[in-house]
Chain A
Amino acid sequence: MSDLDEFKVTYFDECSELLGELEEIFAVIELGDRDSARINAAFRAVHSIKGGAGAFGFSALVEFAHGYETLMDQVRDGRVSMSDDVVTLCIRANDLLADFVGAARSDAPLAAEHGLAEKLQMAALAEGQAIDGELDDFDFDFTPIAVDLGKDEAETKIEVHTDQFADAPSTDLDGQWEISFRPHAALYARANDPLLLFRELAALGHMSVQAQMLDLPPLADFEPFGVYCLWTISLVSPDLTEAMIREVFEFVEGDCDISVVRLGEQTGTGENDVTVQVAISATDVLDPNINDFLMLSDDEIGAMIEFGEPDDLREAPLVGQETVGASIPQEAIAAGPEAGIPEPTSAKPIVELADEGDRRAVGVQSIRVDLEKVDRVVNMVGELVITQSMLTQQMDETLRTQYTELVRGLEVLAQTTRGLQDSVMAIRAQPVKSVFSRMPRLVRELGLKTGKTIKLEMVGEATEIDKTVIEQLSDPLTHMIRNSADHGIESGAVRLAAGKPEAGTIRLGAEQAGGNILITIEDDGAGINRERVLQVARSRGVVAPDADPTDEQIDQLIFAPGFSTAEAVSDISGRGVGMDVVLSNIRKIGGSVNVRSRPGRGTRMTLRLPLTLAVLDVMLVQVGQSRYVVPLSSIVETIQCSRAAFSRVPSGGQVLHVRGEYVQVIDLAERFELDGARDAESRFLVLCEAEGSHKIALIVDDIMGQQQVVIKSLEENFERVEGIAGGTILGDGNVALIVDVQGLKASDPHRTAA
């Protein structure tokens, strides 16, 4: 990867964060918060996106961001007020900004008109204030020193100098420049240094410098940082232009009196004279009271410097109240402070700078690491966990009694490994805020669309969860909130009639509970219409006609695939389309969904998610000669076959009657074509929730316990295998396969156990 590509990666990473931030900021602004800190933060985010884009030449992005930034700049200055219209425009601009970032990232330019309307709107808003803006500019205290001053002005100023320099030595005046320079105290206060300016000038041509003492105050009035000196510099180089000289003084504009005069053309008509005299007080520069001269040649610049230091000026009166003449002897400089020339504070010897070693930055409180690198560590720690448990398993009783030290060591190893695992997992963790922050926006839009007033409350945004889980969380959350807004929360009129506040509330919460993260989406709407749900479920054969499911079971039915068509549920004042998709998405990341509804009071859905995806809590089962693992998140309960109520269905298959439901039975040994002694009575049923709330019962030969495993891909070296979600390596080093509960359900239903 080239440097530039690497920077781009950093940049786009940063853009994602900044865009998220913007979204978050405007969610709050939208609620009426017009805190200047927030508006400033929004400005900064846009500014940063623009800044980076400029570095990479993403011109479309720069252009759009610039318009947005300009508007935000005026908003934060109060020149444009943050009206609701402006907020709406900004929210739209955030989306567009994301589009432009996306286009830059994928190198797929957007249509020219993309965002044009908004751009114009922003420009119009900003321009409406243009006059104010200009006035503000004039408020700044800057000295109008400009290289491109008009000629007329130049000519009038020239007069000042003509006389003064008429007598200047002029053997060959071509390319000879005379610069007079008098620093103000401010120049030193900003850590500028005449020495550096001279050094730079010296690089332009042959230079000589004269220092002139200005009237020095009595010692009692002497200001350490006062300026009692001006310099006249003569610079000779045929190719020199004024702009080049001016550039040297770029940073000290306004902090000094300066004049740049080209010699040899002074006495002319002034027509060709490009000299610009912009000194604030030419008379000061040419103060006739200047009486002492310090003559310096190029070679002596080093010496002059010391003299030029404000610190040293303190000493100057002592040396030169009457005569400052003669160049400072080298020995004096070498002798340093003892010789009456204090060591300059800003000119530390370079040797000293170099030998500080390589202490690292201390201001950085976080580092950015490629996720791939973290995953590699996660993987290796996974291996370590396995190896460690493998070692522990090897310890039989004989060994235990024989090698107590070894046992103790293994225990410490186990502990450390567990700690290491936790720490590594924590690296991948991120606050759920990054997903939550997108929701206020959604709720607002839903409110507009449905005409309902909906408030969103969020708690626990700082709860941390694995990055991959977070990435998978956005869609299901969006879906569930959309459902709450569409179907859960009633219209204002209905709510008022029911004695509820007109505005509905959706509460989004996150908390950690043991090894899981619980995400709750709660509304104070009408709740699920169970009667209607059950009716639909029966008519669709999801529930057996004679079954009598509990309220909880009915609520759970909204996740069944049978409910995923709009017609079927449009009149159910509970949930709507595609909740089965939500469930399967959550299942995919090892989570589960639970729904609780109270008629007239509202609905609460709880997502239980694993802290991390890399490690899975599983039940280890024996099927034939093989061991399989079933994700605990899918398992509802386990039942001994001898206690189970099996029934035959006309197709010849077997179903399990459990809690008012008929559940498809899959004999894993049969499905996986595994041999094994099958004493039907001693076998177990593992009741799992598959797609939707649809359950399946897996017959296994034995249940061997629960454990955590590291998920390994089968596809890395092989291909997808039906009914198998992946593999894992057990304590003994052998591979166990992970049962794909969803996949089993999806496969041929005619192959149910006979």
Chain B
Amino acid sequence: MMEALDMRDDAVDQSAIAAQNALQLIAFSIGEQTYGVEITTVREIRAWNGATPLPNTRDYVRGVINLRGTIVPIFDLRARFGDGKTTPTKNHVVVVMSVGNKWVGILVDAVSDILTVSRDDIHNVPEGNSIDTELLNGIVTHEGRMVGLIDLLAVVSSARADA
């Protein structure tokens, strides 16, 4: 066991370390803002096609959709950030992701890019806006743009109206 580990350590070269440290993000926009989630969590990107509203839930829960026979909740990211409910059109996009063992969709304005960033470049979210610190894991700058890294668990937690 030890031997195997040692060998692996020896075999890792610089570029591999760099690759290990790299993070691929799906970037999407809400208004002027760009956000990103780790690409490995994304299961599907689909155009907005309505959702069945869920009663007794927070306003950022847009409802549920049928994703090949399973019911998946959709979260309105704009509303989650406290900027009011999105008025979705057919150009709006739902990004379906897995969070833990659940699948959830988030409603965003558009998917913009796939970005590769280094973990070393991730900064802490500045104190101040409590919603930002609550919902973001960090901030990374990519080609002059600031990309907020979404904390999915935080986004989907306590969605019940009474919570």
Contact = CB atoms under 8 A, between A and B. Distances in A.
Contacts of B159: 718-719
B55 A673 contact: yes
A221 to B, nearest CB: 76
B69 interface: yes
A671 interface: yes
Interface stretch (A165-173, A226-234, A727-735): A727-735
Contacts of A737: 52, 54-55, 64
Contacts of B160: 719, 721-722
Interface stretch (B28-36, B70-78, B122-130): B70-78
A339 B73 CA distance: 84
B48 interface: no
A626 interface: yes
B55 A717 contact: no
B41 interface: no
A44 B53 CA distance: 58
Contact of B64 (A714, A722, A723, A733): A714
A300 interface: no
B103 interface: yes
A713 B162 CA distance: 21
A626 B56 contact: no
Interface in B39-92: 50-57, 63-66, 69-73
B71 A718 contact: yes
Interface string B132-163: 00000000000000000000000000011110
Interface in A583-620: none
Contacts, number: 77
- What range describes how many residues of A lie at the interface? 20 to 34
B62 to A, nearest CB: 12
Contacts of B104: 717-718
B102 interface: yes
Given A673-B55, A718-B73, A723-B56, A735 B102 contact: no
A722 B162 CA distance: 9
Contacts of A721: 54-57, 160
A714 B57 CA distance: 13
A351 B20 CA distance: 57
A502 interface: no
A379 B71 CA distance: 13
A66 interface: no
Nearest to A726: B71
B101 to A, nearest CB: 9
B103 A723 contact: no
Given A626-B53, A736-B52, A718 B64 contact: yes
B136 to A, nearest CB: 23
Say what secondary structure dominates the interface of chain A: loop
Contact of B66 (A671, A673, A719, A729): A729
Contact of B103 (A382, A673, A712, A717): A717
Contacts of A722: 55-56, 160-162
A72 to B, nearest CB: 48
A671 B42 CA distance: 35
A222 interface: no
A722 B63 CA distance: 14
Interface in B83-122: 102-104
A717 B73 contact: yes
Nearest to B156: A718
A568 interface: no
A723 B161 CA distance: 12
Contact of B69 (A626, A672, A714, A729): A729
A58 to B, nearest CB: 33
A383 interface: yes
B55 A671 contact: yes
Contacts of B64: 714, 718, 727, 735, 737
Contacts of B65: 735
Given A722-B160, A727-B64, A716 B102 contact: yes
A625 B162 CA distance: 23
Contacts of B162: 722
A106 B49 CA distance: 48
29 contacts: A379-B69, A626-B52, A626-B53, A671-B55, A672-B56, A674-B53, A674-B55, A712-B70, A714-B64, A714-B71, A716-B70, A716-B71, A716-B102, A717-B73, A717-B103, A718-B71, A721-B56, A721-B57, A722-B56, A722-B161, A722-B162, A727-B52, A727-B64, A727-B71, A733-B66, A734-B50, A735-B52, A735-B63, A737-B55
**Which 5 A-B pairs have CB atoms at the shortest separation, nearest pair first?**
A672-B55, A735-B52, A718-B73, A722-B56, A717-B102
